[in-house]
A and B are shown apart, each in its own frame.
Chain A
Amino acid sequence: MATVAFKSIHKSFGATKVLHGISLDIADGEFMVLVGPSGCGKSTLLRMLAGLEEISAGSIAIDGREVNDVESKDRDIAMVFQSYALYPHMTVRDNMGFSLRLRDFERKLIDERVNSAARILNLVPYLERFPRELSGGQRQRVAMGRAIVRDPKVFLFDEPLSNLDAKLRVAMRAEIKALHQRLKTTTVYVTHDQVEAMTMADRIAVMNEGRIEQLGEPLELYDRPANLFVAQFIGSPAMNVFDGVLRRNSGGEAWVEALGARWPVAPEVGGSDGQKVKYGVRPEHLAVAPGAAVPCEIVVVEPMGAETELLVQSGGTPLTVLIHGRPNVHPGDRVALATEAAHVHLFDAASGQRL
């Protein structure tokens, strides 16, 4: 168990800068997810923590000890790779015990630890098999087992679920989370999948182009995205965002003119009259309401049972509406949309920052 601290981390590959001063403190026992589109630098940051990449500038500390010049093997970390990286010529047992064998543990102690990890991960029947004889999910569990037996200070996960099919991914997601709740080991988890980030993290760092766009608890990011990037990255289906102009009158009222209609905003929102803004509203915060202000036409109806997703066109802009239950609407219907000011996210059009 340990804390992890990144201090103004920079990284360049030749002339290409990939990380521009990342600072991030991870608490003891915390499950921190680094999420972002590919190329945002999240994996690089993780690999620097693992000691697999040089640190161009800045410092990384594990449990208060700077590890910049410490070898991977002496950082007391364990990593799960996207490709699992199991040793193909070793059985599951030998794969899991390899790190202990290298550290000259006694055979008995290795067996004890491997067996205990295998029990946690339901791998006992597979201990004498080779990786090629296992399914993707089992291989993933072996990779996790290899990490567990070490009892390291920090677990590192580099997109561990990307190679699994959708159903297995959901199951393994829950397994990893349960494992963390059981072991309470500090964990840094890299993914490009915001659903994984939302469901697993204690806190999420949303990264983009080598910077942290926002750091916070999952629902905090969902409810109050600090900028347009986070707003559009977090949430599925994605937030509706369109251009508008902020209007204020002397009576203290505020609204946004967009898509040929008048959209509500909270009166206390920042910004001045006439300012160009991006208006953001999540699909579940749009409702089909007779007589509402915003006319639109239904293009596609996607029933999912508990919810129905509507793709609509308003003023030539496609919007997504998520409705609980099964509304009686059909493609081609002309309906009206309503939303509440409390659920609206307003961003400055130029800077993308929240108003």
Chain B
Amino acid sequence: MKRIARDAWLYLMAIPILLWTLLPIYHIFLFSISSKDSAFSGALWPAKPTLRNFETIAQQHHFYLHHFWAQIWNSLWIAVAVGLITLFVATCAAFAISRLKVKGGRAVMNLALFTYFIPAAFLAIPMYKAMGIFGLLNSRWSLVLAMVTLAAPYAIWVLKQASDKLPYELDEAARIDGATPLQLFRLVYLPLMTPSLVAIGTYALLLAWNEYLYAYLLLSHERTITLAVALGHFISADDSPWELLMATGLVYALPPAAIYYAFRGYMVSGLTSGAVKA
């Protein structure tokens, strides 16, 4: 009886929250399957649902969508690169700090974390300047490097906490068994860190996929911008094609949802693994 009462209470809380969260997404979906005329009709379901908008997107048949495929490719390319490079940097750093106990490693990590005290928006202008000096403006690499910089401190911290939890005897056993630090890293450390690595890789990938401000600043050419920036352009017109904007937004939201769904098991165990210092 007590259980039922508690469950009922939970449902009572959960249902409004769920509706609150899903309503905007439903709204996007509704727009995306409506024709231009009926998009603002206010109906809960369009009189004539259509997939025309998606067709328009795929064929790039609109002024704002002329480079759709190039832009989504940019987004994907940059997100994957950020994910991989962050993973590489953070894993090596965490291994060096936590397992090899390199002198000053902790200080470096704390310094890196300290950068989070400065809002990323403040760093945008210096970053723009730096990329300009390196001649990287309007190149995908500028955004990749910027996002890796933003993602790495958190990634290092989470991976360091996770690797602190691996028993140190494993390293000692491997050393006695004859493993060099590189073999230890490859044959013992990486396999045991897999859940955390997947979680952090996904985190960095999604961070880059969703980035707007830096992408807007660092990339400016129609063919080099990411889809996030392209979506922003939609609103610059007086008569924005809302139904196309929403349809593109829906397409844009699918890859992260798929990635998150694929790795959901790792996300829970990986991201909480660094949360509490045991």
Contacts and interface: CB of A to CB of B under 8 A. Distances in A.
Q: Do A and B come from one complex?
A: yes
Interface of A: 50-52, 71-73, 77-79, 81, 83, 85-89, 98-99, 102-103, 146, 150
What are the 7 tightest A-B residue pairs by CB atom distance, in nearest-first order?
A85-B169, A99-B177, A73-B178, A85-B173, A102-B178, A89-B191, A72-B175
A102 B172 contact: no
B179 interface: yes
Contact of B188 (A50, A71, A87, A103): A87
B24 to A, nearest CB: 42
A89 B169 contact: no
B176 A77 contact: yes
A72 B177 CA distance: 8
B176 A79 contact: yes
Q: Which of A81, A85, A86, A150 has the most CB of B within 10 A?
A: A85
B33 to A, nearest CB: 47
9 contacts: A51-B175, A71-B175, A73-B179, A78-B176, A81-B169, A85-B169, A87-B188, A88-B192, A146-B177
- Interface residue tally of chain B, by bracket? 10 to 19
A77 B170 CA distance: 16
Contacts of B183: 102
Given A71-B175, A79-B173, A102-B177, 13 more contacts: A51-B175, A51-B176, A72-B176, A81-B169, A81-B173, A83-B167, A83-B169, A87-B170, A87-B173, A87-B174, A102-B179, A146-B173, A146-B177
B85 to A, nearest CB: 25
A140 B187 CA distance: 22
Nearest to A75: B176
B169 A98 contact: no
A98 B174 CA distance: 8
B169 A73 contact: no
Contacts of A83: 167, 169
Contacts of A86: 173
Interface string B103-140: 00000000000000000000000000000000000000
A50 B172 CA distance: 9
Contact of B170 (A79, A85, A102, A150): A85
Nearest to A156: B176
Interface string B176-194: 1111000100011001100
A301 B249 CA distance: 83
Nearest to A83: B169
A81 B172 contact: yes
Given A85-B170, A87-B188, A50 B176 contact: yes
Contacts of B187: 98
Contact of B172 (A52, A71, A89, A103): A52
A99 B178 contact: yes
A85 B178 contact: no
Nearest to A84: B169
Contacts of A81: 169, 172-173
A73 B192 contact: no
Interface in B3-38: none
A71 B181 CA distance: 12
Contacts of B175: 51-52, 71-73
Contacts of A52: 172, 175-176
Contacts of B172: 50, 52, 72, 79, 81, 85
A89 B188 CA distance: 8
A135 to B, nearest CB: 19
Contacts of B177: 73, 98-99, 102, 146, 150
Contacts of B173: 79, 81, 85-87, 146
Contacts of B178: 73, 99, 102-103
A173 B277 CA distance: 37
Contact of A89 (B167, B174, B179, B192): B192
Nearest to B171: A85
Contacts of A50: 172, 176
A76 to B, nearest CB: 10
B187 to A, nearest CB: 8
Contacts of A98: 174, 177, 187
B178 to A, nearest CB: 4
B68 to A, nearest CB: 43
Contacts of B167: 83, 85
Contacts of A87: 170, 173-174, 188
Nearest to A150: B177
Nearest to A89: B191
B177 to A, nearest CB: 4
Q: Which of B169, B170, B178, B191 has the most C-beta atoms of chain A within 10 angstroms of its own C-beta?
A: B178
A73 B184 CA distance: 12
A99 B172 CA distance: 12
A100 to B, nearest CB: 9
